[in-house]
Structure 1
Amino acid sequence: MKDLRLSATGLEVDHDGAPLQAFADTVLRGLGQVMLQNNSYAGLLFLAGIACNSPVFAGAALLGTLASTLAAIALEADRQMLRQGMFGFNGGLVGIALLCFLQPTPLAWACVALAAAGSTLVLAALQNALAAARLPVLTAPFVLTSLCVLLASTRFGRLQASDLLPTPGLPNGASLEGVATASTLGEGLLTGVGQVFLQDNMLTGALFILGLFVASRRACLAALAGSLSGMLVAWAMGAAEPAIRSGLFGYNSVLVAIALSGAALAPGRIAIACGLFATLATPFVTAASAAALEPLGLPALTLPFVLVTWTALLASRFSTS
C-alpha cells in the first residue's frame, strides 16, 4: 500500500491512510514506551517476551494498552503523543499488575479494561499538575491506578487476591537468606529486565534486551548496567538471595538507568553523574518503598523508579539554577 512504509522505529503511515494498521503500530509503540522506546519492533518483542512467560499476562498487557489508547482517542489527546504510544504504556502495565496480583476471573478482566482506561485520565491530570515543574509523568499513572484497585479489592468480595500479593503486616527485620553465586547474578541480570513487566523469566528478559537493542543500543546497555548495579547493591547490603535472583532489586534500576541515560536527561556529564548516583540509590528506595507499603499488603511496583527519576531530574537543574 502506498500509504504504508517501514521505518527504523516501526510503521509509518501517510496522512490518514490505513487507520487499522496505524492503530496496531500505535499499540505496539505503547508497549515499547514501558521502557521509554518509541519503537513498535521493540513493543512486539516485549509482547512476545511476556507471552513466553504467560499468555494470560500477554493478553492483559494487550487489553490494557488497547483500553488506555482508546480512552486517549476518546479524549481527543494530542495526536503526535498518541501515535508515539505515550497513552498506552501505563495501561499495559496496569493490565499485567491486576492479573498478576488478582485472580484472573472475568470480573478481574473487566477491571483491567476499566482501570487501564482510567489510567489515561490520571496521566492527563498528572501532565497538567507536573507541567510547571517540567517533570515527565513516567509510570506514575500505572502505580496510582494499580495500587488503588488492589487496595479497593480488599473491600470487594468478588475480587480475590493471588498468592503473589504481599501479606499485610509490619515489616520484619531482614536476615541473610541464601548465598548469592555467579548463577544468581547471571539469572538476576536477565530477570531484572524481565521484571519491568512483572515477569520472572530469563527468556522473557532476554527478549526484552533484544527489543531494547533493536530500538536503542544506548538503552540496551543502560538496562543491563541498571540491572547489574541493582543486584550488586542489594547483594552488598545483604538482601535475600531469592529476591536478587528474581530481579526484584533490578527492574527499577533498569528503568532509572534508561531514563537518565538520555531518554529524560540530555546526554552529558550531568546525566552520567545523576544517572550513576540515582541507579545506585534505587535499590535503597526499592527496599524502603516495599517496607512502607507492606502494612497495606501492596507491592511497590515502579514507584521507586518514579521517585528516584523525579528527584534526579530536579537535582540536575541545580547547577543551572
Structure 2
Amino acid sequence: MFQRVHDSSGDPFPFGAVFGRRVLRGIGQVYLLPSARAGAVLLAAVAWQSWTLAGACLLGALTGTVWGLSAGRADAGGRAGLDGYNGALTGLGIMVVLPPGPLAWSLVAPLACLATWAARVWRNRCAAPPYTAPFVLVTWLLMAAAEGLDLPRAAAAAAVDPGWGEAVQGLLRGVGQVMFLDDPRAGALCLLGLALGAPGAALSAGLASGLCLLAAALAGFPSDAAGLGLYGFNAVLAAEALRAVRPGRLDRWLWPCLGALLSLGLMRGFQALELPPLTAPFLLAAWAVRQAALRRGAQARAA
C-alpha cells in the first residue's frame, strides 16, 4: 500500500503519483513551467525524435528528483519540479556530447545529481535564479573532459530538409532545440505541451522563436543555423523567464522581446568565437534584462 501524502494543491494522492508529478514537473521546468501535463507531452516530444534522448531525459529528471527527496527537500521548489529540470537537461546533454553506450549512460545519474546539487546551492546563496546554469557548467566540464581525453563524440545534427516551409521549420526547431530536438514535428509537440501547461507560454515561445528567426535573416546570419533553430531556443527561454517580470503594464512584452533579441546577439557571439553556447546566451540575457527591469520597477515605485 502506498503511503498517502499531499501534493502542492492540498489533495491527497498516493506517494507514487505525487513522485511522478514531481518528475514530470521537472521536465516541464526545462521551459520554466511547473506543469506535469506539459512535462508529459515534452517527454513524448523527445521520444518522437529519439528514445535514447527520452530515456536520458527521464533518468536525469528521476535522479534529480530522488536526490531532492533524499536530501529532505520537501519545500515548494521541490514540489514544483525545481530538482528535476537541470538533471533532465544534463541527461540530454550527455547524449549529445557522447555516443550512447555504457560510458554515457553511466554518467547520467552522477552528473544529474551534481547539476541538481549545484542548483540548490545557487538558489540558497544567490538572489538571481540559477535557471539552467548548473546544466551549462556540468556539460561544459563534460565537453572539456571529452576533448582532453580524446573520447568519441556523438554524431552531428542532420542537415536541414527544406521540405514544407523553411521558416515554419526554423520556428518549430527553435522551440524544440531547447531540448536538443531538430525535428520540427517534435518542436510542434513541444508547443502543444507548453499550451497545455500555460497558453501564454506557447504564444511567448512561438513569438520569440519567430522574432529571432526574422532578426537573424535581416542581420544576414548564416541560414543553416537559422533553419536548425539555433537562433531561437535561447530566445524562447529568455522570453519565458522574463514574461513574469512586469514592473508596469506597458512593459508586458518589452522585457521578453529585449531578452530574446539580446540572446540572439549573444548566441551569434558564441558562434563567432567557436564556443559551445548551450543555454548560456539565455542565462546572460535573462539575468541582465531581469536586473534592468527590476531596477526600473524600483525607480518607478520610488518616484
Q: Which residue is equivalent to 1:282?
A: 263
Contact 1:94/1:112 (8 A) holds in 2? yes
Q: Which residue is equivalent to 2:295?
A: 318
1:265/1:129 Cα in 2 relative to 1: closer, same or farther (>3 Å)? farther
Q: Letter of the aligned partner of 1:291 in structure 2? A: A
User: 154, 162, 175: which is aligned to 1:162?
Assistant: 154
Q: Which residue is equivalent to 2:41?
A: 45
Deviation by residue 1:107-150 (Cα, 9 ceiling, x = unmatched): 1111111100100111122213322xxx2111111111111112
Q: Which residue is equivalent to 1:127?
A: 123
Structure 1: how far apart are the matches of 2:116 and 2:218? Answer: 39
Instruction: Give 3-state SS (helix, strand or coil) of 2:99's partner.
Output: coil
Q: Letter of the aligned partner of 1:108 in structure 2? A: A
Which aligned pairs between 1:1-321 and structure 2 lie closer than 5 A? 14=11, 17-131=13-127, 135-156=128-149, 159-164=151-156, 183-262=165-244, 264-265=245-246, 268-292=249-273, 294=274, 299-319=276-296, 320-321=298-299
Instruction: Give 3-state SS (helix, strand or coil) of 1:127's partner.
Output: helix
Q: TM-score, normalised by structure 1?
A: 0.85
Structure 1: how far apart are the matches of 2:125 and 2:156? Answer: 33
Structure 2: how far apart are the matches of 1:76 and 1:267? Answer: 38
Structure 1: how far apart are the matches of 2:182 and 2:9? Answer: 34
- Unaligned 5+ segments in structure 2 are none
Structure 1: how far apart are the matches of 2:249 and 2:271? Answer: 32
Q: Letter of the aligned partner of 1:160 in structure 2? A: P
Structure 2: how far apart are the matches of 1:150 and 1:58? Answer: 21
Deviation by residue 1:175-217 (Cα, 9 ceiling, x = unmatched): xxx9x99922111111110101010011111111111111111
Instruction: Give 3-state SS (helix, strand or coil) of 1:247's partner.
Output: coil
Instruction: Give 3-state SS (helix, strand or coil) of 2:83's partner.
Output: coil
Contact 1:228/1:250 (8 A) holds in 2? yes
1:85/1:93 Cα in 2 relative to 1: closer, same or farther (>3 Å)? same
Contact 1:69/1:117 (8 A) holds in 2? no
Contact 1:115/1:149 (8 A) holds in 2? no
Structure 2: how far apart are the matches of 1:267 and 1:198? Answer: 34
Contact 1:138/1:306 (8 A) holds in 2? yes
Q: Letter of the aligned partner of 1:305 in structure 2? A: F
Structure 1: how far apart are the matches of 2:52 and 2:28? Answer: 19
Runs (4+) off by over 4 Å: 10-13, 264-267
Structure 1: how far apart are the matches of 2:148 and 2:167? Answer: 40
Structure 1: how far apart are the matches of 2:33 and 2:130? Answer: 15
Structure 1 residue 25: Cα displacement: 1.0
Structure 2: how far apart are the matches of 1:98 and 1:299? Answer: 14
Deviation by residue 1:45-101 (Cα, 9 ceiling, x = unmatched): 000000000000000100111111112222222432111101100110010011012
- Unaligned 5+ segments in structure 1 are 166-177
Structure 1: how far apart are the matches of 2:155 and 2:261? Answer: 30
Structure 1: how far apart are the matches of 2:246 and 2:41? Answer: 25
Q: TM-score, normalised by structure 2?
A: 0.89
Contact 1:194/1:200 (8 A) holds in 2? yes
1:217/1:252 Cα in 2 relative to 1: closer, same or farther (>3 Å)? same
Structure 1 residue 156: Cα displacement: 3.3
Structure 2: how far apart are the matches of 1:28 and 1:266? Answer: 31
Instruction: Give 3-state SS (helix, strand or coil) of 1:317's partner.
Output: helix
Give % identity.
33
Deviation by residue 1:24-44 (Cα, 9 ceiling, x = unmatched): 111001000111111101000
Structure 1: how far apart are the matches of 2:156 and 2:126? Answer: 33
